[in-house]
């Protein structure tokens, strides 16, 4: 079981100022009026896990996650999200398993794309995506249930529903590695 412990945002969507969210064990609720940024927080989670589709985080291009400015504040050119994981159960990939705490971060600069780090070390998007896929979370996993998602699952074709079950079982990372190996 992967335990998220902190989510840090800066310049991401409406979270222009550095914001840190402590995530404790058990249930965490986020409440607030319409438009205060609740969905943006879920999207920050998806994004730091390596989401590649801007559409799935309500943008038309990835730069749309960067704070776009308001009448009172100028736009930013940089957004960063970091997610801290408790790895005391040692379920992280071997390369990172000597750390009790893992900090995964993603940063985007306007027109320059994204850069990922795990505990300060530059890594590929793929490394981050696989880390989360192996832990049965991940940007498109059933661990994140967005609005309308339940009816999508009910109405899905059997093949698509199987993919959802495989993600829940934590074997989608294996499938993805096999696919890569077959392409070589």
92-109 b/e (C-beta count within 10 Å ≥ 16 → b): beeebeeeeebbbbbbbb
Coil, strand or helix at 55? helix
- From 37-45, 110-118, 128-136, 165-173, span contacting ligand ATP (CB under 6 A): 37-45
Of 26, 32, 158, 159, which lies in the binding site for ligand ATP, with binding defined by CB under 6 A?
Answer: 32
Distance between CA atoms of 62 and 142, rounded to whole angstroms? 23
Nearest approach, Cβ of residue 158 and ligand ATP (Å): 32
Is 155 annotated as ligand-binding?
no
Of 36 and 165, nearer to ligand ATP (C-beta) is: 36
DSSP designation for 12: B
Assess 106 for contact with ligand ATP (CB under 6 A): no
> What residue 26 binds from ligand ATP, Mg ion, none (CB within 5 to 8 A, per partner kind)?
none
> What residue 13 binds from ligand ATP, Mg ion, none (CB within 5 to 8 A, per partner kind)?
ligand ATP
Q: Which of 20, 9, 11 is nearest to 63 (CA)?
A: 11
* Contact status, residue 33 vs residue 49, Cβ threshold 8 Å: no
DSSP designation for 170: T
Assess 36 for contact with ligand ATP (CB under 6 A): yes
Assess 21 for contact with ligand ATP (CB under 6 A): no
Nearest approach, Cβ of residue 133 and ligand ATP (Å): 25
* 150 to 32, 147, 176, 183: CA distances (angstroms): 23, 8, 25, 34
Of 32 and 158, nearer to ligand ATP (C-beta) is: 32
Contact residues for 57 (Cβ-Cβ < 8 A; gap 6+): 43, 46, 47, 51, 65
| Tokens (6 digits) for 145 | 């249930």
Of 38, 91, 99, 117, which lies in the binding site for ligand ATP, with binding defined by CB under 6 A?
Answer: 38
State the binding site.
33-40
Provide the binding-site residues for ligand ATP, judged by CB under 6 A: 13-14, 32, 34-40, 64, 66-68
State the binding site for ATP.
33-40
């Amino acid at each position: 079981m992967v335990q998220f412990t902190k989510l840090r945002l800066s310049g991401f969507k409406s979270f222009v100022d550095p914001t840190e969210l402590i995530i404790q064990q058990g249930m965490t609720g986020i409440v607030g009026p319409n438009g205060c940024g609740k969905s943006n927080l879920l999207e920050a989670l998806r994004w730091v896990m390596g989401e590649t589709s801007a559409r799935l985080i309500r943008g038309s291009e990835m730069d749309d996650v960067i704070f776009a400015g308001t009448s009172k504040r100028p736009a930013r050119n940089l957004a960063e999200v970091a997610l801290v994981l408790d790895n005391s159960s040692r379920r992280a990939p071997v390369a990172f398993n000597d750390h009790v705490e893992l900090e995964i971060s993603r940063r985007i600069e306007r027109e320059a794309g994204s850069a990922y780090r795990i505990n300060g070390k530059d890594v590929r998007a793929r490394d981050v995506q696989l880390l989360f896929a192996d832990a049965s979370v991940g940007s498109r996993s059933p661990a994140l249930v967005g609005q309308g998602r339940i009816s999508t699952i009910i109405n899905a074709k059997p093949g698509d529903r199987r993919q959802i079950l495989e993600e829940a079982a934590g074997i989608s990372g294996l499938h993805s590695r096999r696919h890569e190996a077959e392409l070589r």
